[in-house]
Structure 1
Amino acid sequence: MRRNFKWAALALSLALSPLPAAAQQAGAPQAPQLKPVSASAMQAARDLLAVKNVSQVYMNAVPNIIQRTKDGFLANNLSYQKDLNEVAVVVAQSMAGKEKEIGEQMAKIYANDFTEQEMKDLTAFYKSPLGQKLLTAEPNAIQASMMFMNQWAQSFGEAVVAQFREEMKKRGKPLG
């Protein structure tokens, strides 16, 4: 199941990447305003996310952020390597389990976007043989689609460059 959300993990890692404070304030999208949801809707959302094994997406968020933070400090403070390594262990212990906040917020988002019954129906679907096949096969389909789109974009980009060159050459202004 780990590979089921490989593509989503990449998206999450990009989303969790540290940005300069100005970029976070100026251009970062704001979290959606969520309405309060019932306990049963939250449980239905948690069940849906569990059957989809979504926790695989964010399970390493805390250690990855701690590692990146330590590496950032280490880049400018090489003589502190031993201390930073020790502090990283302390920080990891004190922050253990914080990634569950991601799962709870995701459940709240799902509970805002879907009715309780829709989430129960989706959970039942994902538990079905076809749902299980989707969970297993979809990451491969997404990866193959992304590879195709990248190859297509490369080829299309080359065709666009060639046409620009041709058109500019007709105008007596060849491009280098």
Structure 2
Amino acid sequence: MKRFSGLLSAATLAAGLALAIAPAAAQQQQPAAPAAKQSSPAAVAAAKEILGMKNVQAMYANAVTGIVEKTKTGLLQQYLNYQKDLDEVAVIVAKNLAGREKEIGEGMAQVYAGEFTEQELKDLVVFYKSPLGQKLLVSEPKAIAMSLQYMQQWAAQFGEIVNTQFRAEMKKRGKEL
């Protein structure tokens, strides 16, 4: 049961964790452009404005330092005797690559611009600037967090029901769990 609710917790953090588990080799290359149709500069600008209003940059703000740290940790597992050097190099690498997380925002804007028309994006900007849109921007993160908390509680309770039924069915077969 704990494993089931743990899986739900892990799912809620998938976006952030996806950034942290990127392969070290990918850091050396320019990421592939998202598979999105060619969008107008105005559509991309509107998408960036929407993403800014939604404060999505907070999701990936620490991507560079997180990946540098994860890479360093992986290297330390292989080269424990280089800890001091790897700690020093991590600072240099993080400094050299600082700001690259902005590429994520650019890619996300391209994805949005590929999924919505320019007019739809402009309409969304207008909506998010409206009183209801502003309320959504403020209230939605809290509603999502509370919904995820509810899902975790429900999963824990439902896991108990499933566990009880497993035990009952196994007991019918003469096997105690």
Report the TM-score, using the length of structure 1 for normalisation. 0.80
Residue in 2 aligned with 1:12? 15
The 4+ residue runs of structure 1 with deviation greater than 4 A are: none
Shift of 1:103: 0.7
Residue in 1 aligned with 2:130? 128
Q: Which moved more, 1:123-132 or 1:64-73?
A: 123-132
Ranges in structure 2 where 5+ consecutive residues have no aligned partner: 1-9, 25-31
Residue in 2 aligned with 1:155? 157
Instruction: Write out per-residue CA displacement over residues 76-98 of structure 1, whole angstroms, 9 at most, x where no aligned residue.
Output: 32332221122112211221111
Instruction: Tell me how large the CA RMSD over aligned residues is.
Output: 2.6
For 2:67 and 2:60, locate their aligned partners in 1 and report how far apart those are by CA, in whole Å: 11
Q: Which moved more, 1:154-163 or 1:8-17?
A: 8-17
Return closer, same or farther for 1:76/1:98 CA change in 2, 3 Å cut-off: same
Pairing 1:88–2:90 present: yes
Report the TM-score, using the length of structure 2 for normalisation. 0.79
Return closer, same or farther for 1:31/1:155 CA change in 2, 3 Å cut-off: farther
Q: Which moved more, 1:91-100 or 1:107-116?
A: 91-100
Residues 72 and 87, structure 2, Cα contact 8 Å, conserved in 1 = yes
Instruction: Write out per-residue CA displacement over residues 93-149 of structure 1, whole angstroms, 9 at most, x where no aligned residue.
Output: 221111111111100100011111111111122222222222222122111111111
For 2:11 and 2:168, locate their aligned partners in 1 and report how far apart those are by CA, in whole Å: 41
Query: What is the percent sequence identity of the aligned residues?
Result: 57
Ranges in structure 1 where 5+ consecutive residues have no aligned partner: 1-6, 22-29
What amino acid sits opposite 2:176 in the alignment? L
For 2:165 and 2:127, locate their aligned partners in 1 and report how far apart those are by CA, in whole Å: 48
